[in-house]
Amino acid sequence: MKNTLMKYFIWLFITLAAHEATPQDFFATGIVLAMPLLFIPYFSWVIIPVFFICAMITIHAQKQNWKLWVGLDGDLHKTTKITGKKEQVGWPFCTIVEVTNEEISSNNKLLNLLLSCWVFIWTFTLIRLIPVEEITQILKFWYVPVFFFALSHRAAYSTIGTAPISLLGRLKSRRFIIPGYDKVYLAPAFSILAGGIVYLLVSSLSGIHALAESLSISTSLYIILSTGTSMREWAYTGQYQAHRPASPLSATNKISLPR
Amino acid sequence: MIKACNLIHHYGVRPILRNVSLEVGQGELVVLMGANGCGKSTLLGTMAGLLWPIEGHVEIDGLQRRSCVEAEIAIRKKMAYLPDHPWLTLARTGREYLMAVGQIYDLPTAHIMDHMERLLELFHLTDKGDSTMQSYSNGQQKKIAIAATLITEAPILLLDEPFTGGLDPSAILALKNVLGSLAQREDTTVVMASQLPEIAAATAHRIAVIQDGVILHYDSPTDLIKSQNSENLETALNDILNPETKNLLKAYFKGKELSK
């Protein structure tokens, strides 16, 4: 166990060394990730600092990696530096600002795999800490994180635009599938499906529910991060209706009179 | 060149565009006219790439919208869209906003500053230039939005009702002249939705008359007037869009005389 983990840490460290890592990033998260390991009785104390450092690097690398998935944050509206601060350009000029999120590269997929491994270790350790009589209750909720991942993906991508036809419109017009838009649902759907299949397979084959649960969650996370259309591709080729923010003109008049 | 091919769009099941095809040549100024809710803004929004049609597609200079990442980026950079209700960054000053917009179109800073001052002067906003846009009146906000669209110097301008929204007469005259000047240029294509026949008559190369999501006529103002045997564009448009108005007016005045 120790040797395997050691190899994993070394591999992790070498892989992530190329990525920028600042010590202040996610210090607390690193602690949280390392915490479950303290409860493993056969785990050497020596490995804890190594594990902790690796956790911080992983999280920092994921922070960089995350940007390509989360994509459109407030920075989209901020483009230029005129008075030393970034200026907003409002809508619809913000659509001119180039979405710089990269495509999901093999390097990103590797990072996602590392994070998924981390999540696997974390959930597996946590579940094993729970008293046996409570496990059955907890295991009923294995799908909660899986659906959370899927919904988060959906929420992130919907920051750009919405479906060209509403659900009711689809039903009434019998246009049930819009390929150019519905491709955004592929990754979440596949993630939920894979999570479910992994859980059922592993639990029935091994009988270890904690293993099934952890594998299900980590597999689902890996798929949601690594598959489907990238944010950049979606922003430029997705067949969505662009969001139009509520006009601030009327809102302004409600709260203050022109000076 | 803008080419809208067989556009069909509906909101829910309410049809807005019914198989609309439209070609706008380079350097042309085209005005979309029609009653409220006839599909002008939807057509403009589709050309601007903000709406995705249920069927059909839009091509800009031979590049199809949202066909690939590189094509879409190229299209977006050569186009500026003025919505009927622009979303301004009200916490910023007018000058900061114009500078920011100019910079996302990769224009040289000195050039933006020069153009910005001329635009502010043209729209009587020089004194307000350093105030936050929150302090602007509705008309002033509309003016700064128009100035932002013009400062881009984009070769394709899509303007949704630029003459509405509280513009004062001097701003209307200024914008009319600017559009007239753009219409003379070969390098700027303008598509504008408007309800004002006098503006269209003065500036447009061609007018697309839309009713219930269908383009009824797409001609020059002169040909449009001729086709309806009308005296001017206003009556020609009225004859196309509301042919019953004459009879309704006759009935109204006849009833008035009878009641005396």
ipTM score assigned to the predicted complex: 0.83
| Contact (CB, 8 A) for A94 and B105 | no
- Checking if the pLDDT of A101 tops 60, the result is no
Name the more confident of A61 and B111.
Answer: B111
**How much of chain B exceeds pLDDT 70, in percent?**
98
- Checking if the pLDDT of A70 tops 50, the result is no
pLDDT in tens, A181-240: 999 999 999 999 999 999 999 989 988 888 888 899 999 999 988 888 888 888 889 898
pLDDT band for A143, please (50, 70, 90 cuts): confident
pLDDT at A19: 46
Nearest to B96 among A77, A82, A237 (CB): A82
Nearest alpha carbon to residue B49 among B19, B72, B32, B82: B72
Residues in chain A: 259
The verdict on a CB contact (< 8 Å) between A96 and B76 is: yes
Query: How far is B34 from chain A, CA to nearest CA, in Å?
Result: 23
Cβ pairs A/B, distance under 8 A: 127
Query: Among A11-20, A203-212, B103-112, B115-124, whose mean pLDDT is lowest?
Result: A11-20
pLDDT band for B24, please (50, 70, 90 cuts): very high
Nearest alpha carbon to residue B145 among B127, B125, B169: B125
Mean pLDDT of B224-237: 88
CA distance A101 to A160: 13
In chain B, the residue whose alpha carbon lies closest to the alpha carbon of A103 is B69
Q: Where are the domains of chain A?
A: 103-237
The verdict on a CB contact (< 8 Å) between A91 and B76 is: no
- Checking if the pLDDT of A132 tops 80, the result is no
Residue A252 with chain B: CB contacts under 8 Å = 90, 134
| Contact (CB, 8 A) for A70 and A159 | no
